[in-house]
Structure 1
């Protein structure tokens, strides 16, 4: 018997990585194989192997034969994650001046510097790659550059956290099946799962005995160019050349963060070249009020492969410019030294808008992107642009807490309160969802709120609270205080409501 499921829920991924990125293409599937009998036995990787490949369903709402085998097709824009960016790979082995991919340009700072090569098996001494050698090697490129050029359909490397705790850096990469729909093996078997074990909220989950495919880079566009946030993968358990069992698993993924509702020009939101389900007359330009008019990016001027990506990139550029306007005077380098950004004149490229290919959690820590599970850290060893997470609020606090605290705009709450469940009308419920959670999370078009909760009339706020409550997390004392990790405040992604949060006694 084969059991398999997506373990990450509805994953979100950017499609365009030229400006900044929230999340990479990254989905997770776990599988167990059970030998049925009088005494069922959970089998391990010494006996069987588990693979996945793309599949389709004749009743798929996206259309018959909707299949997602590859994340890169010439005639269809899925993502530029694997496309050459604007910088040469910063390694001495790059003798051809090959360029970094946009994906690595975004995510390299979330990986340690090349000095971590000493933890590989066999160890690699890569100190010579660092720009400064004395008194100790520093200004080192990210170890992620060792994986460049990142092949099309290949996901970012995921470390084995259990081995990392013993001083060994072992990584695995999952990839899409590709144009020929090649079966891909689950790259890791977890006898136990280690989850942030160095922190009070962490744990070791013993005897999981499952295969893990962490980081399958699936995107919400099928191979015919149709939107499909619920692509299928067929998972099979094999004994040699014999297939013992197989089943279909959904890998939910969406690219539906509507920053343009506040950060883009209203005229752009209604552009007739946009998909009909994206065109809108409700963009309010509220976030553009603090930007000089000459610095507001329009859809026509923004980069992008499609009108939709141009609109989203215009909004992203305006986000970076607003961040520079508000916080540029207090920017610092990874070592804490001043790195002032003057948006009107930025010859040293200290401003985010000048640098671009920004990964927000480089400064605003996100446990969801902490693949080594080591917590917030600063990494000046990678130079001025290294991680500087210990001096800033978390990504959740920056998004939920900040936006939830914004004042009214034109006399109206930008993110209105959700009424309590008793007597709440379906119309009001849907309207508030559209104006709150669905501004960033995939709901308007993807309809991710489904299943037992949705059927029971439960909405996000009923379990998670409003935006200010979600953003009131372990980083609330920053920038001057310490992180609070004693369990009294939530840790985003790690601290989630459980069934017993509502169901107690005989409920």
Structure 2
């Protein structure tokens, strides 16, 4: 188990100095390594260079919006994890999301979708095949009629393309992003940078642009408990097959009709085939607990109710997916909002039934208009995440890349709070969230 307290220093001095650094400064990187187990490779993350290169477009100056339009963008989850190896089992596939809103600046500003096109790309992450073996097993895992095309995800999205227009926002869902950049295909880089750009659909003129983080990681440390010889002396040579062997030993007598064969004979196994998953919109099999309930109940009492406990399975002591202001400045962790393992194991609808900002007693004066923060809107019909950022990355985040967009928009890394980003003149009325 993990015992070391994860440290997330606040980089106040860092942000003060970055504007004094010349654009031509050298890019220094550091590498952190997670200790190896007997059959698991080390997990290394290259720290991003502490230099911001804002995306420049017509009539735009970083920190001083002068154009007619503003583009706001975010990832809706704050982290997406996927399996490092799909040969034997899969919990989650490569599947990332980008959301955006376009604001026509004015007094008042207006959210617009008509005659707008938004594109996305990952300049240093243009392919996924070869960085993941998902495409070798996707057809079997998901019962597809034909093999999944290279570098195309389950929803038909690639690593560049268009965000789809919805009533009040744009979204690209199911982007098959991996944690490896083209320039360093063997080094995990969990906070990938996407460039999103808004265009006038008729004239083709670029209206605005932004650099947005798409968080992604394979740092799920099943190896902490399921390496060879650790449980029931199971030693198949791989963590994944150790887990499947243990599952067969403990549960095969209760497998439902039509699924009686040992999982070890049915590889690759998609957990959500039997265990319902709202994350994948898969119904599972009646009478079998959903995947989140099953995993949290099985490990309740074995994994401590703490940040370090959660980081056994969620990314992770190196990735540090919990990186928001509540953790860095208010010493809150996963349990403060989600509860402990037993409480999470009793959630009837994981992913759809999650804590609201007022549940912990912290923000009782703020009312979400939807059950989920990521779907909620507030001031001016702007999504909460557009100004406050993604769940688990509420600004200011301790991850440097998360701050890039805020520096582009208002000149400093913090919650979007400069009224004239969207308003032409400074409002005289008090700010109201709702």
TM-score scaled by length of structure 1: 0.55
Give the match for residue 351 of structure 2. 493
Once the two structures are TM-superposed, the CA of residue 319 in structure 1 deviates from its matched residue by 0.7
Q: Deviations over 1:201-249 (max 9, x none)?
A: xxxxxxxx11110011111111122210000010000113211100001
8 Å Cα contact 2:347/2:353 also seen in 1: no
1:57-96 superposed matches below 5 A: 67-73=124-130, 78-83=131-136
8 Å Cα contact 1:361/1:389 also seen in 2: no
Give the match for residue 324 of structure 2. 451
User: SS in structure 1 opposite 2:120?
Assistant: strand
Q: Deviations over 1:128-165 (max 9, x none)?
A: xxxxxxxxxxxxxxxx31xx3311111102xxxxxxxx
For residues 469 and 38 of structure 1, the distance between their equivalents in structure 2, rounded to whole angstroms, comes to 46
Q: Does 1:324 align with 2:377?
A: no
1:396-435 superposed matches below 5 A: 396-405=292-301, 414-418=302-306, 433-434=307-308
1:268-287 superposed matches below 5 A: 285=230, 287=231
8 Å Cα contact 2:138/2:147 also seen in 1: no
Alpha carbons of 1:229 and 1:36: their partners in 2 closer, same or farther (altered >3 Å)?
A: same
- Give the unaligned 5+ runs of structure 1: 56-66, 84-101, 109-143, 158-172, 178-183, 192-208, 267-284, 299-313, 341-349, 377-387, 406-413, 419-432, 475-490
Q: Deviations over 1:171-209 (max 9, x none)?
A: xx21113xxxxxx111x2211xxxxxxxxxxxxxxxxx1
Alpha carbons of 1:319 and 1:38: their partners in 2 closer, same or farther (altered >3 Å)?
A: same
8 Å Cα contact 1:317/1:353 also seen in 2: yes
Once the two structures are TM-superposed, the CA of residue 506 in structure 1 deviates from its matched residue by 6.3
- Give the unaligned 5+ runs of structure 2: 1-69, 367-434
Q: Does 1:27 align with 2:96?
A: yes
User: SS in structure 2 opposite 1:367?
Assistant: coil
Give the match for residue 191 of structure 2. 230
For residues 449 and 327 of structure 1, the distance between their equivalents in structure 2, rounded to whole angstroms, comes to 33
For residues 222 and 316 of structure 2, the distance between their equivalents in structure 1, rounded to whole angstroms, comes to 14
Once the two structures are TM-superposed, the CA of residue 253 in structure 1 deviates from its matched residue by 0.5
8 Å Cα contact 1:28/1:216 also seen in 2: yes
Alpha carbons of 1:417 and 1:49: their partners in 2 closer, same or farther (altered >3 Å)?
A: closer
Give the match for residue 120 of structure 2. 52
8 Å Cα contact 1:48/1:238 also seen in 2: yes
Q: Does 1:503 align with 2:362?
A: yes
Alpha carbons of 1:249 and 1:364: their partners in 2 closer, same or farther (altered >3 Å)?
A: same
**Which of residues 176, 186, 202 in structure 1 aligns to 2:159?**
176
Please report the RMSD computed on the Cα atoms of aligned residues, expressed in angstroms. 1.9
Give the match for residue 166 of structure 2. 190
Once the two structures are TM-superposed, the CA of residue 80 in structure 1 deviates from its matched residue by 0.7
Which structure has the greater CA radius of gyration? Answer: 1
**Which of residues 149, 152, 162 in structure 2 aligns to 1:151?**
149
For residues 185 and 472 of structure 1, the distance between their equivalents in structure 2, rounded to whole angstroms, comes to 38
Alpha carbons of 1:185 and 1:288: their partners in 2 closer, same or farther (altered >3 Å)?
A: same
User: SS in structure 2 opposite 1:231?
Assistant: strand
User: SS in structure 2 opposite 1:31?
Assistant: strand
For residues 82 and 364 of structure 2, the distance between their equivalents in structure 1, rounded to whole angstroms, comes to 39
Q: Does 1:288 align with 2:255?
A: no
Give the match for residue 263 of structure 2. 352
Alpha carbons of 1:390 and 1:446: their partners in 2 closer, same or farther (altered >3 Å)?
A: same
**Which of residues 138, 157, 171 in structure 2 aligns to 1:212?**
171
Q: Does 1:103 align with 2:138?
A: yes
Alpha carbons of 1:251 and 1:504: their partners in 2 closer, same or farther (altered >3 Å)?
A: closer
Instruction: Name segments (4+ residues, structure 1) moved above 3 Å.
Output: 504-507
How many residue pairs get aligned? The number is 291
Give the match for residue 43 of structure 2. none
For residues 334 and 119 of structure 2, the distance between their equivalents in structure 1, rounded to whole angstroms, comes to 34
1:350-389 superposed matches below 5 A: 350-370=261-281, 376=283, 388-389=284-285
For residues 325 and 332 of structure 1, the distance between their equivalents in structure 2, rounded to whole angstroms, comes to 15
1:331-350 superposed matches below 5 A: 331-334=255-258, 340=260, 350=261
